[in-house]
Amino acid sequence: MGDHLSGLIDSHAKGTAVSFNGADVSYRELRALVADALRVLDGLPAGRPVALHVRKSPESVALVLACWAQRRPFLLPPADLGTDARAALYRQAGCGHVLHADLTTVDTGEPADEVPELDGVGPMLTTSGSTGLPKVVPLPHDGIDRFTDWAAGAFGITGGSVVFNYAPLNFDLCLLDIWTTLRRGGHVVLADQERAVDARYLLRAFTHARVEVVQAVPLFYRRLLEVADGPFPDVRELVHTGDAMPPALLARLPEFFPNARLRNVYGCTETNDSLIHDSDPTSADPVPIGRPIDGVQVRLDGGELLVRTPFQAGRYLDTAIADKWVEVDGETWLRTGDLVRQDADGVLHLDGRADYQVKVRGVRTNVQQVEQALQSHAEVADVVVLAVPDDEAGYRLHAVVRAVDGTRPNSLTLRSHCARLLPRTAVPSSLELTADEFPRTTTGKVDRKKLLAERV
């Protein structure tokens, strides 16, 4: 058993490995859960990929570790992905069985001779699927090894470190939160993904142990601060990632995390973390995405960011999707789709997504730049700008705004604010104030498709 888990769990680790919903699981108990999962995996065809239909829990963490221990490729799609979409991904990955956290198994019926080439592959994660079926990203073992080594050093994760995990298990952020921590003998505090927007629950989970390192999307920090009644002095590393951090929220973080270094980390599933930046809570400007981390190369092509990292997958499982991977001087780079500019100090700034560019009355407009303009208004807490199809204009811009508590900005004020910062065609033609939370994807990002579907 010790040989199986070599490199996955610190062989000398004792004490608490994982906490979940108020209960602690020791390293001894976690190893026992992994042993149970290995007995089930041993009954399946050797080396054949499996799919894990799981939600985050100590048992699902153990199941992932068991697959890793066997060097067996495993697909880890979002738990709430539709049945048909999951089946399509099982076929694409050649998964013979689906495993659940309780170790029940279901035969997919997929023929063994249709398994793709997966030598050296561990987890197969998926992209968000915002434009259709999620793309499968096969992550190589050696890339993950390099990433966890970097992350442990960058954030000081060692035996006994307490690290808070907010992201769902299928999200690449877990490579830092969970897998780096367990490899170094630390203590992972898991947040239940079913209660990811429950502020009172999140506060209880966060204070279950003396968290030192936390990585999460801005939604988590906003929710936590809504109910926090005092500071969290034990946190020394606070990472925000996955979505733009509103400057007004960033400005509040030092009050609650007085001893924490605040850092923005930029990356994507295909390449893992790529850039890092020490965030300035006193600045009202959008937070830069920073400079390349150790070993990462970046280049700009017409404003689009291309990235090459020591941790990257290098391909999608569906070889028909190849337009995002490009060969430059014999090396494989990822076209991120992010529009970026570099300042005189070499710091990279995100201006928006290439796929968020639309034409409004013939003028190319980036909706994320419009969001940044609205976000800079003192009475705006959060905003999403939607590009709504329009027969005459091509697209029209509709802004959905959540106001700062105690304020009620009117649409004329906000449109005038935009007009001072943007071209006329980029000023939203309509604005909507809402007190409701924006719908979110499983990774905490705003679900733009759902917002748009509710308004067209």
Q: Is the pLDDT of residue 229 over 90?
A: yes
Segment (H or E) for 17: strand 16-20
Task: Let me know: does 185 contact 12? Beta carbons within 8 Å.
Answer: yes
Rounded distance between C-alpha atoms, residue 94 and residue 112, angstroms: 7
Residues 221 and 365 in one domain: no
Least confident range of 112-116, 213-217, 249-253: 112-116
Q: Model confidence over 178-203: pLDDT tens digits?
A: 999 999 999 999 999 999 989 999 99
Q: Is residue 432 part of a domain?
A: yes
Q: Is residue 414 part of a domain?
A: yes
Residues 199 and 69 in one domain: yes
- CA 148 remoteness from chain centre: 16
Residues 276 and 398 in one domain: no
Q: Model confidence over 122-152: pLDDT tens digits?
A: 999 998 655 457 889 999 999 999 999 999 9
Q: What is the mean pLDDT of residues 276-281?
A: 98
Residues spanned by the domain of 382 = 361-453
Q: Is the pLDDT of residue 1 over 60?
A: no
Residues 280 and 414 in one domain: no
Q: Is residue 392 part of a domain?
A: yes
Place 208 in a pLDDT band, splitting at 50, 70 and 90: very high
Segment (H or E) for 222: helix 218-227
Residues 75 and 172 in one domain: yes
Helix, strand or coil for residue 358? strand
pLDDT score recorded for residue 233: 98
Query: By C-alpha distance, which of 434, 415, 439 is closest to 426?
Result: 415
Q: What is the mean pLDDT of residues 345-358?
A: 85
Q: Which of 293, 328, 345 is the last residue of a domain?
A: 293
Segment (H or E) for 363: strand 363-366
Q: Is the pLDDT of residue 223 over 60?
A: yes
Domain with residue 159: its CATH number is: 3.40.50.12780
pLDDT score recorded for residue 329: 87
Query: By C-alpha distance, which of 175, 192, 196, 56 is closest to 125?
Result: 175
Cβ atoms within 10 Å, residue 434: 13
Q: Is residue 5 part of a domain?
A: no
Q: Is the pLDDT of residue 6 over 80?
A: no
Least confident range of 94-98, 179-183, 256-260, 377-381: 377-381
pLDDT score recorded for residue 85: 85
Least confident range of 247-256, 295-304, 338-347, 402-411: 402-411
Cβ atoms within 10 Å, residue 373: 23
Task: Let me know: does 177 contact 157? Beta carbons within 8 Å.
Answer: no
The Cα-based distances of 313 to 172, 174, 210, 348, 379 in angstroms read 12, 16, 34, 23, 42
Residues 269 and 367 in one domain: no
Query: By C-alpha distance, which of 286, 285, 239 is closest to 262?
Result: 239
Q: Is residue 339 part of a domain?
A: no
**Structural tokens at position 318:** 């569906």
pLDDT score recorded for residue 307: 96
pLDDT score recorded for residue 444: 67
Q: Model confidence over 315-337: pLDDT tens digits?
A: 899 877 767 888 888 899 999 98
**How much of the chain exceeds pLDDT 70, in percent?**
96
Residues 133 and 245 in one domain: yes
Helix, strand or coil for residue 344? coil
Q: Is residue 341 part of a domain?
A: no
Q: Model confidence over 288-298: pLDDT tens digits?
A: 999 999 999 99
HEC-encoded secondary structure of 31-89: HHHHHHHHHHHCCCCCCCCEEECCCCCHHHHHHHHHHHHCCCCEECCCCCCCHHHHHHH
- The total number of structural domains in the chain stands at 2
Q: Is residue 67 part of a domain?
A: yes
Q: Is the pLDDT of residue 212 over 90?
A: yes
pLDDT score recorded for residue 12: 83
Helix, strand or coil for residue 367? helix
Least confident range of 88-92, 98-102, 177-181: 88-92
Strands (E) in 375-456, as ranges, are 380-390, 394-403, 430-433
Cβ atoms within 10 Å, residue 23: 9
pLDDT score recorded for residue 368: 83
Cβ atoms within 10 Å, residue 255: 12
Residues 98 and 186 in one domain: yes
Rounded distance between C-alpha atoms, residue 134 and residue 130, angstroms: 7
Domain with residue 375: its CATH number is: 3.30.300.30
Q: Which of 253, 278, 293 is the last residue of a domain?
A: 293
Residues 380 and 251 in one domain: no
Q: Which of 271, 293, 315 is the last residue of a domain?
A: 293
Q: Across all residues in the chain, what is the average pLDDT?
A: 91
Residues 286 and 365 in one domain: no
pLDDT score recorded for residue 318: 83
